[in-house]
A and B are shown apart, each in its own frame.
Chain A
Amino acid sequence: MRGASQAKWVVAAVAVALAATACGSGSSSGGSSDSAVNAQGVFSYQSAEPQNPLQPANAMENQGGRIVKQLFMGLVDYDPTSGALRNQVADKIETTDAKNYTVTLKSGWTFHDGTPVTAKSFVDSWNWSANTKNNQINSDWFSDIAGYDAVHPEKGDPTADAMSGLKVVDDTHFTIELTGPVSYFQYKLGYSAFFPLPTGFFADPAGYGQKPVGNGPYKFVSWEHNKAITLAAYDKYAGTDKPKNGGIVFKNYSSGEAAYKDLTSDTLDVLDQVDPTDLASYKTDLGNRAVDQAQGAIQNISFALYQGDWAGVDKAKVRQGLSMAIDRDTITKTVLNGSRQPADSWVAPGVMGYKAGACGDACKFDPAKAKELIQAGGGVPNNKITIIYNSDGGHKEWVDAVCNSIRQSTGVECLGDPKPDFKTSRDIIRKKAVPSMMRTGWVQDYPLNANFLRDVYGTGASANDAGYSSPEFDKLAQAADQATSVEKTADLYQQAEAVLAKDMPAIPLWYYKTNSGWSNNVQNVKFDSFGNPVFTGVEVKQK
């Protein structure tokens, strides 16, 4: 036993060396040893109990979200390797003015209960999900659609059951009218809130939330609460990527360490994320089964621009100076064990419209220049900043490191200000009661730069924690939204990003990475930019 496994290590080490010399892309699948594949094989994935019932518009957090994404398929989805938009249930989505859309569906799609997926399945689903009464956490995703106010008024009960902007033409056609042009509306349509629902759902939404019936590559088998959720491949799946395995068991783990231990003993097949304790050693432990790739998510620290002393025109220089005082390379390598990639823009790489170096010199470590800029901008208010963060998310180490870096390079007093948990820190941030700085982050909803810019830095945007408001940025964002093509949108948003470089409402720190791995039982495990494995592509080895 011992000898055999040691021999395997040698093979693994050689494979790593070969992979490293052959291509430095970091996306090597590692499936170099192609064993016989059991197409009916089931594999397990590290998961946790979903926070909400498994309804498409109720899946905001990751645990339920990734399961819903396997059970359902929308009009479009994103290619896991390139992030590009591709049609799934939709045959085509046409528009001339970015405001009125005509959707044509492919035929042949069925729900797992055998009923066909029609135009009505989408329209009914969206109307139900947008309705305030139905308590769907993602209900505001429909706010672009005309008539949203009637089903989701700001206060009080809804006055209608359906949005006027949605019209079923026939089984395979429906039209969408938006309140204004949104050039990248199609990109949003890949989000789980826009999935279709079968007719049976509306009679018993709670029951279907426990036993979902979808139209995706996998059908629901069982949900043992707090233990596991089991899915099986759906043999009549009509989408582009048919499952290469028999099913998935989403196994519930309360700690990352436990999951990692199970992975190394081949009791668990695919890991969600390596826990911080094992980050330093997981590449040697797993060899060519280790994953280290960029994710569509960014970590920032934002300024409380609503505090008077940060509002002055010259203070932008101070903010740039503080950004230059942070040694991103060293911190990501040492404190974060290489689990992050230094940021050079406000948009994560791999996202359409990402522009390398958009942050310019401000994201390069230069203590001398940092000091100069801070002085030119009139100095940091009271020569002291605090960074509010939640101490339950493993942020303490890097916040302290960032503060050290700022203190050493500029002499500005910098302190981490830990709050007991995420909820508490979010409360303070939402109430706009942050004294100077706060930790903020953004995980993509869809891989387009608009999602990282419009939703975070637009005036009054839902995630605009800094309270940033720039007429110039808003004007460019609006123009981008009304552009005629997604390419043009991405382009105009890059111009809007240039405004951020000038104003520096938030300091981009680094992009998240997927640090994961898989067991000896599976192969061909690839991860997308959401940090999820391509579940349908996983191959289970023959035993």
Chain B
Amino acid sequence: MGRFVARRLLQMIPVFLGTVTLIFLMVRALPGDAVSAMWGDKAPDPAQLAAFKHRLGLDKTLVEQYFDYMRKLFMGDFGETMSGRKVLDVITEAMPVTIRLALMAFAIEILLGVTIGLFSGLRRGKAFDKGTLVLTLLLISIPVPVLGFVFQTVFATNLGWVTPTVQDSMNLGQLLLPAFVLGSLSLAYVARLTRTSIVENVRSDYMRTAVAKGLPKRRVIGTHLLRNSLIPVVTFLGTDLGALMGGAIVTEGIFNVKGVGNALYHAINLKEGGTVSGFVVVLVLVYLAASLIVDLLYAVLDPRIRYA
């Protein structure tokens, strides 16, 4: 187990370097000059333009910029935005908001998704199962923006329960609605994955044995059935956490949540290469950590899966 973790951590290094390099090049390859665009429709003043570029280090060659960026990154310096703020400050402001939002969405999709999946799997072909199929199909087929606007209209404009947008991005109660919208698509997937897995396993030999031994129903389902059925679900959930964190752009936009999606969108619009790569670096780390945890969870769920 220890060796496995060490190997996985070592594997992360090239993945990390590769993604950071790629994103650095991709952002720089975007057309358009961000600095001269600050002048809008007017022609930039050449002397001032040169001074700006010098301050941001954009007068250097791409290779020099790359090594500067990498060197600073390893010392924990994410650089500066065009307005002179520390990119790290921008990240540390936005991250806690999105982490909350993503974890809430994550919790909603695990609790609701697994429960719904479990019950419809156990009641295969019954009304509840059919209802679940229809409901999940609906959630999968409705695009997130539509769902967001519908929720906004129903709960804020018509019912008046909440304000249309989130007023305090750190308030858990206010984040509930956007978290549900954000998690809804994955919720449907989790429910379907769990259901299929349960349906498969419910007729397996060990289940028959467990029932034949006269184990209580709670134990049969909880320890034997659910534990074995959760492996594909956990795989999905692991990659989904990363997707939730990065994919909150649309949801955060609709509900005006001041998180990563919002900051990233703003930075891409201004073509602030440093800020965009900074966020991506952090998201890559989140993703790598999540997939490591998934791999470790396999062993917990099914001891037959051993790590050499």
Contacts and interface: CB of A to CB of B under 8 A. Distances in A.
Given A225-B85, A262-B163, A427-B33, A137 B38 contact: yes
B263 interface: yes
A404 interface: no
B256 A426 contact: no
B133 to A, nearest CB: 33
A209 B83 CA distance: 10
B33 A267 contact: no
Interface stretch (A26-34, A149-157, A472-480, A528-536): A149-157
A51 B38 contact: yes
A421 B32 contact: yes
Nearest to A62: B40
Contacts of A179: none
A441 B42 CA distance: 10
Contacts of B84: 53, 206, 209
B41 A430 contact: no
Contacts of B254: 255, 257-258
Nearest to B249: A254
14 contacts: A51-B83, A60-B38, A135-B51, A140-B48, A225-B85, A226-B90, A254-B256, A255-B254, A258-B256, A265-B163, A420-B32, A423-B34, A424-B31, A462-B43
A333 interface: no
B41 A440 contact: yes
Contacts of A420: 31-32
Interface of A: 1, 49-53, 60-61, 132-133, 135-137, 139-140, 152-155, 206, 209, 225-227, 252-255, 257-259, 261-262, 264-265, 267, 392, 419-424, 426-427, 430, 440-443, 455, 462-463, 465
Interface residues of B, number: 50
A225 B47 contact: no
A132 B51 contact: yes
A333 to B, nearest CB: 26
B78 to A, nearest CB: 15
B31 A423 contact: yes
Interface string B31-72: 111101111111101111011100100000000000000000
Main secondary structure of the interface of B (DSSP, over half): helix
Interface centre among A227, A426, A441 (most CB of B within 10 A): A426
Contact of A442 (B41, B152, B157): B41
Given A265-B163, A427-B31, A60 B156 contact: no
A345 B83 CA distance: 37
Interface in B227-267: 252-256, 258, 262-263, 265-266
Contacts of A423: 31-34, 36-37, 271
Contacts of B89: 225
Given A53-B84, A226-B94, A254 B262 contact: yes
A261 B254 CA distance: 10
Nearest to A152: B47
Contacts of B263: 226
Interface in B1-55: 31-34, 36-43, 45-48, 50-52, 55
Nearest to A61: B40
B169 interface: yes
Contacts of B85: 225
B93 interface: yes
Interface centre among B45, B163, B265, B266 (most CB of A within 10 A): B45
Given A135-B52, A421-B32, A423-B33, A252 B258 contact: yes
Nearest to A465: B41
A421 B33 CA distance: 11
Contact of B45 (A53, A140, A255): A140
A255 B163 contact: no
Contacts of A137: 38-39, 48, 52
A13 B137 CA distance: 43
B196 interface: no
Contacts of B50: 155
B37 A422 contact: yes
Nearest to A51: B83
B201 interface: no
Interface string B169-191: 10000000000000000000000
Given A153-B47, A254-B266, A261-B156, A135 B55 contact: yes
B241 to A, nearest CB: 23
B115 interface: no
Nearest to A227: B258
A236 B39 CA distance: 35
Contact of A426 (B32, B82, B167): B32
B49 to A, nearest CB: 10
A226 B156 contact: no
Contact of A255 (B82, B83, B256): B256
Contacts of B163: 262, 265, 267
B165 A267 contact: yes
Contacts of B152: 261
Nearest to A442: B41
B96 interface: no
The 9 closest A-B pairs by CB, nearest first: A423-B32, A261-B164, A423-B37, A424-B32, A140-B45, A462-B43, A258-B256, A424-B31, A267-B163
Contacts of B39: 60, 137
A284 B289 CA distance: 51
Given A226-B258, A261-B157, A139 B45 contact: yes
Interface centre among B46, B169, B256, B263 (most CB of A within 10 A): B256
B270 interface: yes
Contacts of B157: 261, 264-265
B292 to A, nearest CB: 31
A261 B162 CA distance: 12
B32 A430 contact: no
A254 B43 contact: no
Given A254-B256, A262-B164, A262-B165, A441 B266 contact: no
Nearest to A462: B43
Interface string B265-276: 110011100000
Given A154-B47, A227-B258, A254-B265, 6 more contacts: A1-B160, A52-B83, A137-B38, A227-B169, A422-B37, A455-B42
Contacts of B262: 226, 254
Interface centre among B42, B46, B160 (most CB of A within 10 A): B42
A252 B169 CA distance: 12
Interface centre among A255, A427, A440 (most CB of B within 10 A): A255
Nearest to A226: B258
Interface centre among A52, A60, A261, A424 (most CB of B within 10 A): A261
Contact of A267 (B41, B51, B167): B167
Given A225-B85, A227-B169, A267 B32 contact: no
